[in-house]
Amino acid sequence: MWRSMRLARKAFLGSASKFRAPQHHARNPQVLQSYHESLLPPLAASCYHYSQLSHFTSRVSFQSRFDRNPRFYSSDPYPEEDELFTEKPIVDSGNGLDENLFGANDNGFDDGNAGVWSVDSSLDFSSESVGEIEKFDVVEGEDDNVSVSDVPNNTDAIEDMVQKLEDLLSLLQSSGSDKSLESCLEGLDLVLNEDFVLRVLETPLVPGESLIEFIQWGFKKNEDLVTKKVIDALVGAISKELIARNSYALWDLVKYAGGKDLGIVSTETLNELLSLFSRLGKGKVAFEVFNKFEDFGCVPDADTYYFTISALCRRKLFDWACSVCEKMVSADKLQESDKVGEIISLLCKGNRPKDAHNVYLWAKERKMDTSRSLNFLISSLCKINKMMSEVQTLAKETHSPSQYEAVEEEEKECIHLALKMLDDFPEKERTYAIKPFSSVFVGLCRMREFEGAQKLLFQMMESGPPPGHGIFNTIITGLSKAGELEEARKMLKIMEDRGLKPDVYSYTVIISGYVEGGEMEVACEVFHEAKKKHSKLSSVTYHSMIRGFCKLEQFDRALGLLEDMKKSGVRPNADEYNKLIKSVCMKDLDWKTATKLLEEMVEMGLHPNEKTKCLVRAVKELQEETTESQAVEAAV
């Protein structure tokens, strides 16, 4: 009996057993799994007759779902067909589906899988004698649209569809064919629809180039394939590969689809394209995608602006990036602090700190966390002089004072913006923000705005971060070069009052300022003060003093400093000797002292230049000629 039931079931399911994973991809476990789990059921479900067949066989094979009827075990081995099965008429509900496909069956079991065929509940299954069922002949009803006689043909159609899909995937995954892919596709005799194309696009490990050619061929064959689902699936498949050639072809297909219908291309699809071109570093194409949003009827969102700006900055297209930033600020889209901080950093790296500052102010108004951007943005605003130094030099060479002044004004504006940003530091973080405060302080001193620099210095002394030697040396240097030497000496006093010991550099800068002004007595005063605080001064300090005495032709004091320099353990360099030799020869014509200095240089391992040697010889010869002429005149 059970053997007969198996034979009967096999008669209806014979062709179903032919469904198997494609042998072409047996070496590919992912493709094999996709066939077993996802490919065959949707394909079968899309065929109406296969659905009828599967519902019928599920009722026959699983007897636990029905009440056992004693008539099934009757002594008659060949019961009448009408007694075994009843047919349900197909009812069209308007959506192309049979209402009886999902609902209660004749036996009262609402299992959700009831089909057109069902077992008659009135059958009497007897367990006393069992006959063998050789075959099932189901008579086609008068009002039915489908009969069991159609099942083998429908099953063959499904099998043919699956086989064509296998052949297509095998073709797309293969390479090295002599024929073009388009000619091979023509030979497959495919019937294309959206479900079929989506299955191809969702199959893993298919090269993107082959997918592009297949979709291009498919769009030529059937324009109805240009749908949102197909475009989204295609973009998702190609974006996994970072291949520029395929990305350009993908963008051409998206433009073609967007030109047919405004609803086909979505904002999410375009954002995925922007992300792809950003990773590839294709800024110009990304900008083209951004400009197509309005044409496709899409509204840019936060990701749109972020991906576009990132792509443009990667290619150093900062003018376009700044224009996108302006649109982002006016649209008020981006709300993530991390992405805003990254945009600010990208603009700063591209020497666009003012545009980055505009983004910063916009984020600050919306109470975003901008603390991570403070340090980098302030430093960039204060380092703008590096970018403008070439412009300033060019302005000087071309004798264009107006251009030079414009650059200088812009630099001052940037420093003042950075100065205002210092107030945005939280009180807890202000103590450790020595780098941005120092950057602003140096910028103010560079622009000779010493009043603002001193004001900032007092603020730092009061509420932090505490200024160190670098801050004081910066303002002392600026004041000394500007000739405000008394203010510079006051800064020395403030350093000492705060427990900071002025270093040699601080004294040297002030000494150089007095030497430049010819105030050697005050310079000597500061020099002796420095010697009290430091046992050993630098060679630069002595060099400044020696140069000052040589200018005043006080060579004895200059030579005395040279001896003091050697006693203090400071090794004089060739510059000190050359300066002294030149001064002695040119102004005092003392070639003997110059010769001694030359000998000292040689003893110390220093090498005097030829100009210095020639100068000493010339002065010596001149002096000898003068002496001889004087002797001749005296004899006469």
For 601-618, b/e burial (b = at least 16 CB within 10 A) is beeeebebeeebeebbee
pLDDT-based confidence at residue 21 (cuts at 50, 70, 90)? very low
Q: Which helix (H) or strand (E) holds 68?
A: none
**What pLDDT score was predicted for residue 57?**
35
Cis peptide preceding 608, ω within 30 of 0 = no
Of 334, 353, 375, at which residue does a domain stop?
Answer: 334
Look at residue 387 and tell me if it is in a domain. no
Of 286, 309, 334, at which residue does a domain stop?
Answer: 334
Q: Which helix (H) or strand (E) holds 86?
A: strand 85-87
Instruction: Tell me the residue range of the domain where 620 lies.
Output: 591-636
Q: 150 and 6: one domain?
A: yes
pLDDT-based confidence at residue 30 (cuts at 50, 70, 90)? very low
Tally DSSP H helices, then E strands, for the chain. Answer: 32, 2
Q: Which range scores top for mean pLDDT: 206-220, 222-236, 272-286?
A: 272-286
Look at residue 182 and tell me if it is in a domain. no
Look at residue 244 and tell me if it is in a domain. yes
**What pLDDT score was predicted for residue 358?**
92
Cα 97 → chain centroid? 50
pLDDT-based confidence at residue 605 (cuts at 50, 70, 90)? confident
Q: 486 and 619: one domain?
A: no
Contact present, 492 and 505 (Cβ < 8 Å):
no
Number of C-alpha atoms within 13 angstroms, CB side, residue 121? 9
Mean pLDDT value of segment 404-431: 86
Alpha helix ranges (H) inside 181-282: 181-188, 194-202, 208-221, 228-238, 244-260, 267-280
- Whole-number Å distance between alpha carbons of 523 and 545: 8
- Whole-number Å distance between alpha carbons of 272 and 270: 5
Look at residue 179 and tell me if it is in a domain. no
Q: 319 and 235: one domain?
A: yes
Instruction: Give every CB contact of residue 222 below 8 A, 6+ residues apart in sequence.
Output: 192, 193
Q: What is the pLDDT of residues 87-105, one digit of tens each?
A: 444 444 444 434 443 333 4
Task: Give the whole-number percent of the chain exceeding pLDDT 70.
Answer: 69
Of 128, 154, 180, at which residue does a domain stop?
Answer: 154
Q: Tokens at residue 611, please?
A: 């100009």
Mean pLDDT value of segment 515-540: 89
For 55-65, b/e burial (b = at least 16 CB within 10 A) is bbbebbeeeee
CATH number, domain of 563, equals 1.25.40.10
Q: Which range scores top for mean pLDDT: 48-57, 365-374, 470-479?
A: 470-479
Tokens 């990304």 belong to 286
pLDDT-based confidence at residue 287 (cuts at 50, 70, 90)? very high
| pTM of structure | 0.65
Q: 568 and 598: one domain?
A: no
pLDDT-based confidence at residue 346 (cuts at 50, 70, 90)? very high
> Distance between terminal CA atoms of the chain?
162
Length of the chain: 636
Q: What is the pLDDT of residues 121-141, one digit of tens each?
A: 333 434 343 333 333 333 333
Domains contained in the chain, number? 4
